[in-house]
Amino acid sequence: MSIPETTRLELPILQELKATGGSEDLKYLYDRLVHYFPQLTAEDVEGTSGAVRSRWRRLVQRAGRGLEQGGELRRERKRWTLTARGLRRVEAEAMQLDRAAAEPSPARTLTHGEAQRMLVEIGAWLGYDAAMEVDRYDVVWRESRDAPRISHVFEVQIRGSVDSALARLKHAYDTQRSRPFLVIAGERDARFAGRRLTGSFHEIWRAITVIGVGELAQLHAALGRQTELLAKLSARD
């Protein structure tokens, strides 16, 4: 189970309250907050025994208490209401995202599939068992085909949600201590990922490696000229 830390629930709670007009019944928040964390499965929050779901609700309530202590929401029985301070926090976050989205994107030289195929080829050249689309990850490397543990996990973020990619990488790091790699399209995405890694995803800040698509293409081209030598270097007796 990969239920997030309490602090990572705070902003989604405020965002949901804003989206519903500023106030909402707690029983509806429980289910809607799940969608902010792609690493969660239905089984994670709907365990047949009810124990897992109870834990999820306790975490949401704990986050709510923290927000109330900070003056960002009011809790009245089972109804939570966004305060002016909480609204300012949500709007400040939205302004950051809008500024990032408004910046011009550089020309992209690789498609998502091309980047995946390059990562698989690089992994194979280095002696790993490499594959695409495994356990919801874009690319994974294992020490061997029979190895139970994923040693390297890659998410290719050409477009879409950086947060979703980081959530999947954090899940792999938390559950298997896989080495996480984020492949991004350009400087704008790198800056945004950097902000998220020093904030909501600070737990993997020191473990993750961010690779630009240009760097990936250059590495692929360089290693592709030395495949025979790499095969000999990576051979195992």
pTM: 0.52
Q: What's the pLDDT score for residue 217?
A: 87
The low-confidence residues of the chain, meaning pLDDT below 50, are 1, 48, 104-108
Distance CA 64, CA 68 (A): 6
Quick check: 26 and 78 in contact, CB under 8 A?
Answer: yes
Chain segment 176-219, per-residue pLDDT in tens: 888 989 888 765 556 666 666 666 667 777 788 888 888 888 88
Q: What's the pLDDT score for residue 107?
A: 47
7-102 fold = Arc Repressor Mutant, subunit A (1.10.10)
Mutual angle of helices 162-176 and 187-197, in 10-degree steps: 50
Quick check: 209 and 100 in contact, CB under 8 A?
Answer: no
Q: What's the pLDDT score for residue 208?
A: 83
Cα 210–Cα 15–Cα 97 angle in degrees, nearest 5? 40
- The residue written with tokens 């790993």 in the block is 128
What are the extents of the domains in the chain? Answer: 7-102, 112-234
Chain segment 119-142, per-residue pLDDT in tens: 999 999 988 999 998 888 899 999
Q: What's the pLDDT score for residue 216?
A: 87
Q: From 213, 215, 129, 201, select the one nearest 172 (Cα to Cα).
A: 201
Strand, helix or coil at 186? coil
